[in-house]
């Protein structure tokens, strides 16, 4: 009964989304504000209805209502409550519903926050977001409905794919989607700006927090995916350059470029067309990500749904969106002429320009690697795959270039850098970089990329530290009054500095996070060690300075799985730890999953995977030493902190900001 109410709510929401879109267009063409108000109200109603629709589905999961096909396919009586509640996005239909719900949520929040401040562009924003919502709801209602019933209802469900029964996977899709959908808002503002012809920086200021929010949630989503791959898939790594991983990475790269280039438009009025291009591209790539996952056009571990009917629809949807967005951009490009030019190649503007070029080239590299197999397969009969060797070859140099620019950027002044200033600012960081290089060489880092990363990390930390120190000095100088009593302490000065320039120093904290992550990438990418061997209880193996001994094999059982478990003792410098890798069988699905046992320290992870039994009393093991993997998660933490801090700053830049 409830699920039909949910289904009905979704249908009404679909009609209201169409209403939202068309009423807004009618309102603006006939100049009738009442129609636009209807559109705005419709946006709020859509959210309420979709919340109800998603709510009934969650309720069906929690009450084990296996007469609902989607529930029967993705849950079972044995499934723990935590995974029951989140099984909503365990499959294709529910994921799409989550997508649509998030879009409805952001749509409503946009109406609430920007209704009075952006009255002129609001109708167009509503029209675009309403159209997007209607498009997604069409897909949900007509091509992949999660509300279908099964008759007769099975006594028990098929259970959730065991690989998805992992905390990393519970959080990966919602965050990823929040990122994808989040970019819809700046995208809609950008399109509205283009259509109304007000392509100045107003839309950028309006959507600054949206962009930051979408960017950081996308970042978190991607990292959760990597985390899941690392802990659950048990192949010793976290990133495989799988087409669908790439699909989430491409919008991240272009969005990162966008975050930087909007600053140039805000400060100097440059890059207008470029910014519009970047946000449209970012949102299109987000949709492409959804398309790739949901149409099965690319083979990958993620291609859960292979359904040409859906594929055709999503393709048509994408085609309309792409031609509409880029078409408008092309035809309105006359609006975007500026007479302002770069003054000097040695300036913050041009540092941003090069940063953008590198990020976009990086995105193109990934796009090429992702589409090339598809092209080869389509145009010939061969099948190729583009894997890590290609990406490592092309990508690491680009990333090193971005690190270098990241170090240079903050110390570069706007407009033009004078040689005196460069001579004053750069020797110290360069010296630090050289120290980093020597330290790395002393630590027997032999690989040129390793050396370069170490040097650049120190260089970036140097420039950022120097910048902060200069800021504190400047504040002390301004605040130095006649009497000593009123003098600022350096700590107060630092606090004032940070609080007045939340955006700037939040950004720097994000940079620090990137630096920490780079260390993790290079450490785990270049210095992983691996042994692959059979062990019987009592056998030992040495890996690095660890001695790993298999002490026993046993069995464990939980609510909905049983597992073979190995108990290993790892010993290093007199310290002993116990590792328990498992091979789990979830009764309903035959495919067993591996649970790697991981011992994490700041220096490295010891990572043990239990394989098959090869002979009586002998099991196969793969044991890895993964240096600096924990740094990836810490770096992400810093990035989240940095963005949160930057988002505290409001829509308008603080008066007298001297960034």
Partner 1 sequence: MKALWQVALLLTITAILVLFALGLHNDPHAIPSPLLNRPATDFAAPDLDGQPLRLSEHRGKWVLVNFWGSWCVSCVAEHPYLLELAKKTRNRTDFVILGVDFKDTLEGARQFLARHGNPGYRHAFDPGQKIAIDWGVYGAPESYLVDPGGVIRLKQTGPLYPGWFERVALPLIQAAPTPGGTP
Residues found near partner 1 in the complex (CB under 8 A): 291, 295-300, 303, 306, 308, 311-312, 315, 318-319, 322-323, 326-327, 329-330, 333, 371, 374-375, 377-379, 381-383, 612, 614-615
Q: Among residues 273 and 547, whose Cβ is nearest to partner 1?
A: 273
Q: Among residues 294 and 502, whose Cβ is nearest to partner 1?
A: 294
- Taking the C-alpha atoms of residue 358 and residue 342, their distance in angstroms, rounded to an integer, is 18
Q: Among residues 317 and 426, whose Cβ is nearest to partner 1?
A: 317
Give the nearest distance from C-beta 295 to partner 1 in angstroms. 7
- Find, among 409, 366, 625, the residue nearest to 514 by Cα: 409
Give the nearest distance from C-beta 75 to partner 1 in angstroms. 25
Q: Do 453 and 518 meet the contact criterion of CB atoms below 8 Å apart? A: yes
Q: Among residues 309 and 490, whose Cβ is nearest to partner 1?
A: 309
Q: Tell me how far CA of residue 120 lies from CA of 64, 192, 244, 282, 651, in angstroms.
A: 48, 9, 38, 24, 18
Give the nearest distance from C-beta 285 to partner 1 in angstroms. 11
Give the nearest distance from C-beta 266 to partner 1 in angstroms. 24
Give the nearest distance from C-beta 224 to partner 1 in angstroms. 25
Q: Do 407 and 456 meet the contact criterion of CB atoms below 8 Å apart? A: yes
At 579 the three-state DSSP class reads: strand
Q: Among residues 423 and 615, whose Cβ is nearest to partner 1?
A: 615
Give the nearest distance from C-beta 587 to partner 1 in angstroms. 16
Q: Among residues 107 and 254, whose Cβ is nearest to partner 1?
A: 254
Q: Do 155 and 212 meet the contact criterion of CB atoms below 8 Å apart? A: no
At 316 the three-state DSSP class reads: helix
- Taking the C-alpha atoms of residue 531 and residue 17, their distance in angstroms, rounded to an integer, is 56
Give the nearest distance from C-beta 375 to partner 1 in angstroms. 6
Q: Among residues 46 and 329, whose Cβ is nearest to partner 1?
A: 329
Q: Among residues 163 and 315, whose Cβ is nearest to partner 1?
A: 315
Q: Any bridge partners for residue 532, and if so which?
A: 622
Give the nearest distance from C-beta 88 to partner 1 in angstroms. 26
Instruction: Report the Cα–Cα distance between both ends of the chain, in Å, rounded.
Output: 59
Q: Do 635 and 517 meet the contact criterion of CB atoms below 8 Å apart? A: yes
Give the nearest distance from C-beta 51 to partner 1 in angstroms. 33
Segment 66-69 long-range contacts (CB within 8 Å, at least 24 positions apart): 66/150, 66/153, 66/154, 66/155, 66/156, 66/157, 67/149, 67/150, 67/151, 67/153, 68/3, 68/146, 68/147, 68/148, 68/149, 68/150, 69/148, 69/149, 69/150
- Taking the C-alpha atoms of residue 230 and residue 159, their distance in angstroms, rounded to an integer, is 23
Q: Among residues 325 and 636, whose Cβ is nearest to partner 1?
A: 325
């Amino acid at each position: 009964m409830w699920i039909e109410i949910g289904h009905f709510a979704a249908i009404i929401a679909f009609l209201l989304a169409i209403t939202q879109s068309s009423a807004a267009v009618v309102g603006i063409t006939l100049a009738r504000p009442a129609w636009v108000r209807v559109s705005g109200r419709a946006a709020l109603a859509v959210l309420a209805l979709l919340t109800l629709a998603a709510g009934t589905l969650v309720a069906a999961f929690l009450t084990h209502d296996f007469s609902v096909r989607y529930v029967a396919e993705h849950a079972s009586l044995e499934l723990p409550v935590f995974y029951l509640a989140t099984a909503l996005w365990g499959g294709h239909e529910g994921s799409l519903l989550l997508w649509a719900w998030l879009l409805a949520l952001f749509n409503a929040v946009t109406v609430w926050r920007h209704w009075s401040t952006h009255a002129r562009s609001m109708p167009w924003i509503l029209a675009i977001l309403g159209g997007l919502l209607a498009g997604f709801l069409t897909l949900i209602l007509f091509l992949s409905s999660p509300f279908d019933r099964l008759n007769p209802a099975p006594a028990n469900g098929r259970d959730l794919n065991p690989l998805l029964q992992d905390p990393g996977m519970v959080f990966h899709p919602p965050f990823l989607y929040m990122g994808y959908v989040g970019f819809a808002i700046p995208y809609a503002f950008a399109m509205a700006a283009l259509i109304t012809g007000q392509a100045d920086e107003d839309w950028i200021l309006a959507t600054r927090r949206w962009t930051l929010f979408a960017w950081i949630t996308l970042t978190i989503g991607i990292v959760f995916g990597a985390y899941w791959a690392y802990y659950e898939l048990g192949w010793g790594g976290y990133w495989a350059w799988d087409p669908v991983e790439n699909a989430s990475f491409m919008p991240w790269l272009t969005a990162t470029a966008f975050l930087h280039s909007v600053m140039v438009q805000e400060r100097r009025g440059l890059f207008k067309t470029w910014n519009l291009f970047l946000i449209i591209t970012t949102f299109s790539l987000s949709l492409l990500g959804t398309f790739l996952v949901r149409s099965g056009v690319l083979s990958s571990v993620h291609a859960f749904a292979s359904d040409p009917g859906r594929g055709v629809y999503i393709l048509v949807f994408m085609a309309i969106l792409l031609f509409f967005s880029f078409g408008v951009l092309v035809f309105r490009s006359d609006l975007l002429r500026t007479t302002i030019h770069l003054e000097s190649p040695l300036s913050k503007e041009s540092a941003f320009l090069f940063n953008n070029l590198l990020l976009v080239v990086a995105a193109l590299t990934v796009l090429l690697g992702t589409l090339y197999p598809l092209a080869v397969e389509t145009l010939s009969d061969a099948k190729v795959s583009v894997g890590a060797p290609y990406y490592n070859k092309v990508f690491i140099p680009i990333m090193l270039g971005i690190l270098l620019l990241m170090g240079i950027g903050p110390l570069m002044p706007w407009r033009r850098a004078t040689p005196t200033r460069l001579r004053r600012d750069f020797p110290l960081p360069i010296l630090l970089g050289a120290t980093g290089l020597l330290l790395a060489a002393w630590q027997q880092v032999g690989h040129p990329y390793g050396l370069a990363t170490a040097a650049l990390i120190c260089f970036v930390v140097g420039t950022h530290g120097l910048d902060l120190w200069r800021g504190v000095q400047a504040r002390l100088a301004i605040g130095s009054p006649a009497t000593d009593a009123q003098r600022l302490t350096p700590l107060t000065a630092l606090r004032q500095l940070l609080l007045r320039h939340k955006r700037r120093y939040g950004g720097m904290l994000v940079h620090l996070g990137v630096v920490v992550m780079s260390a993790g990438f290079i450490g785990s990418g270049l210095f992983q060690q691996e042994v692959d061997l059979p062990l019987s209880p009592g056998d030992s193996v040495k890996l690095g300075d660890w001695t790993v001994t298999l002490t026993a094999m046993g069995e464990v059982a939980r609510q909905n799985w049983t597992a073979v478990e190995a108990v290993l003792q790892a010993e290093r410098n007199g310290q002993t730890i116990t590792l328990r890798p498992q091979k789990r069988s979830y009764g309903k699905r035959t495919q067993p999953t591996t649970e790697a046992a991981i011992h994490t320290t700041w220096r490295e992870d010891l990572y043990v995977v239990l394989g098959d039994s090869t002979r009586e009393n002998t099991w196969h093991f793969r044991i890895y030493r993964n240096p600096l993997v924990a740094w990836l998660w810490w770096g992400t933490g810093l990035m989240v902190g940095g963005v949160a801090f930057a988002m505290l700053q409001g829509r308008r830049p603080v008066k007298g900001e001297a960034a």
